[in-house]
Amino acid sequence: MTAVASKSSRLPEMSWIRGIAALIIMLFHYTTCYSHHFSYPWTFKLEGGEGAISIFFLLSGMLTVLSLKEGDRAGGYLWKRVKRLYPGYWVCIVLTAVVTHLFLPSHAYDAKTIAVNFTMLQWLFGYANVDGVYWTMQYELRFYLLIAVLLLLRQHKNIKWYAFLWVIASFVLYQLFFRDGVARRLVRLPAIWLMADSSAPFISGIFLACLLRNPRDWTAWIGLGLAVALAVFSQPANHLTAHLCTAGAGLAAVVLRSLPATGERYRAAVDRLDRGPLKGLAWFASISYPFYLLHQYIGWAILQGIERAGLHQMWIILIPFAVCTGLAWMVHHFVEQKVR
């Protein structure tokens, strides 16, 4: 889970959605997942909250395309992604490994697994994730590699047309990959690298970025419709719901910003909200990457300690939330910002 957070200021409403998505995923992990792993009888469980991952994927697609510039090159682009992703990720691995070994041994891993996780390619080598939430990073990396290929071929200006090819290929590959027999074996590699089961939100984000630049681009409207159709075809219900809600919010922002009657007033209202009532949510969105990487197993370790102390009320979720938010701010402030 990540995106080019520094670019999110172009669309403050997308930052708010990112912050809400991070909160949804946290509640899902602290209620439903925690109860499943530790047989804890919560009175409230947020079922299906993992679908909010599609929000992060869609925002990655949108904000990555918006961040591309005329003179970008593949090497420079990948170096920016490395600086954005890896330093904070390494610190989060260390923090998570230490906490799990000390306080959550049931979810601790050996030194070799931890070392392989530093590459962010553990999925490629068949190793487990030091924290379960790391599974999404493989999809982010594949998406960034696809963008880098376009930059290498000097085709990033035509990204919309490649997105059309991607959505059509995903329809075909998804259908073939989830069948048994020869067809599955033949399409296995392209289906994995083109993320046939998870490409829909990335593609929707690409077309939303195109519409933000030119709301009258009818081909981008068609492309977004195809991406939504792919989501209906390939995504579980909870992911589809999150996808549709985010795409709808993005479209509303595009339309309201572009209409002569509403554009100026809408942007002024968004700016007021971003500086006022929703400033805290925007701030939380800015640290959502390290928060996402830290919150699950460290939060579970804290909940285990609280449970042993005899506290069982729902409000105790605020304690791991506060601790992980503080840790995420430190990683963001002392690592991510310093690296940039």
Over residues 196-234, the pLDDT tens digits come to 999 999 999 999 999 999 999 999 999 999 999 999 999
Q: What is the pLDDT of residues 15-63, one digit of tens each?
A: 999 999 999 999 999 999 999 999 888 888 899 999 999 999 999 999 9
Q: What is the pLDDT of residues 127-159, one digit of tens each?
A: 999 999 999 999 999 999 999 999 999 999 999
Q: Is the pLDDT of residue 4 over 60?
A: no
State residue 6's pLDDT score: 42
Cβ contacts of 189-198, under 8 Å, gap ≥ 24: 193/142, 194/146, 194/166, 194/169, 194/170, 195/139, 195/142, 195/143, 195/170, 196/169, 196/170, 196/234, 197/234, 197/235, 198/57, 198/139, 198/234, 198/235
Which residues span the domain enclosing 229?
5-339
Mean pLDDT for the chain? Answer: 93
Report the domain count for the chain: 1
